Amino acid sequence: MGYLAVKSVISAIMIALASEMAKRYPGFGALIASLPLVSVLGMIWLWHDRPDPENMAAHASATFWYVLPSLPMFLVIPVLLRHGVPFWIGLGGGCLLTISLYMTMMWVGPRFGLPL
């Protein structure tokens, strides 16, 4: 239980730092948020729990392919906001787009031999 608490606290601190930095410096906050911190922390925790090179390689490879469907969200949300769409609706629309693209990736990816 203590290990889970440590993982949670470290992960939460990283997210809080990014959001606090974004309040003062939006560009720098975006840079921090764009870093693959969740992926890196996830790989560290996974390696600690199961130090298996093949499992880690499969995880890292799948992460690459799952990042791609999330990217359009970061283009759609600002467009919606700049056209007067309320934040929560824009965020919801971006998330729905991402979910649909994830589902598409999960369906199309294996058909092209992607290791998901």
Report pLDDT digits (tens) over 31-47: 887 878 888 888 998 99
pTM attached to this predicted model:
0.77
8 A C-beta contact, residue 90 and residue 77: yes
- Report domain extents, the chain: 1-51, 52-116
8 A C-beta contact, residue 116 and residue 67: no
pLDDT of residue 55: 94
pLDDT digits (tens, 9 = 90+) for 3-15: 888 888 888 888 8
CA atoms within 13 A on the CB side of 111: 5
pLDDT digits (tens, 9 = 90+) for 47-98: 999 999 999 999 999 999 999 999 999 999 999 999 999 999 999 999 999 9
pLDDT of residue 101: 97
